[in-house]
Amino acid sequence: MEITGSARRSDGARRWWALAGFGVAVFAAAAIGGLGVGGTSAEYASLEQPAWAPPSWLFGPVWTVLYAMIAVAGWLVWRRVGFGPALWAWTAQLVLNAIWTPLFFGAGRYGLAFAEILLMWAAIGVTVLLFARVSRPAALLMLPYWAWVTFAAALNFSIWQLNS
């Protein structure tokens, strides 16, 4: 069966709209996480921190790159298999990502935020494993995020210990 030019254009447009949708989903998680949590830079600066804590200005650029990678990774898996277990894991880790900021900054519950980030870390690990079965590039795109959350968990734990 031959695919017409308009069918190819339609598929191409659908793929790009889907990529935009994954970008919107990731942006929504970031935005929801930040709702009602103003002044995070000032709060972060006021906390007792370990010597290895990064400056607050670093978090914005790092998360921007990571969120773009998370969106592309989800999209690559969707293109291969649609919505299934891998994307449900991706969604779960994204929900956990959105919950962490209000716990840590909004509520100041550093211990609870640490427990939550451990769940997020595990959910990212499951996502990476499931993505690896479907798309190696998607799994590789998630690895810097997993590494950053590992670092963030250590920082969360240290801040919790120093500020309790």
Output the CA torsion 48→121→148→139 (10° steps): 180
Amino acid in position 102: P
Taking only the tens place, the pLDDT of each residue in 33-53 is 776 566 778 888 899 999 999
Q: Among residues 84, 119, 125, which one has the least CA distance to residue 98?
A: 119
Q: Is 36 left (phi over 0), alpha (psi -120 to 50) or beta?
A: left
Q: Report the pLDDT value the prediction gives residue 141, as an integer from 0 to 100.
A: 98
- Decide: 18 and 78 in contact? Cβ < 8 Å: yes
Give the C-alpha separation, 138 to 69, whole Å: 9
Output the CA torsion sign for 23, 24, 26, 30: positive
- Decide: 98 and 30 in contact? Cβ < 8 Å: yes
Which stretches within the chain are classed as H helix?
A: 5-34, 40-46, 59-81, 85-101, 110-134, 136-162
- Decide: 19 and 75 in contact? Cβ < 8 Å: yes
**CATH, residue 42:** 1.20.1260.100
- At 124, is the pLDDT very low, low, confident or very high (cuts 50, 70, 90)? very high
Q: Which residue has the tokens 């929801």?
A: 32
User: Within 10 Å of residue 136's Cβ, how many Cβ atoms?
Assistant: 11
Q: Which domain holds residue 115?
A: 5-162
Taking only the tens place, the pLDDT of each residue in 76-121 is 999 999 999 999 999 999 999 999 999 998 889 999 999 999 999 9
Mean residue pLDDT of the chain comes to 90
Give the C-alpha separation, 128 to 92, whole Å: 12
Q: Total structural domains in the chain?
A: 1
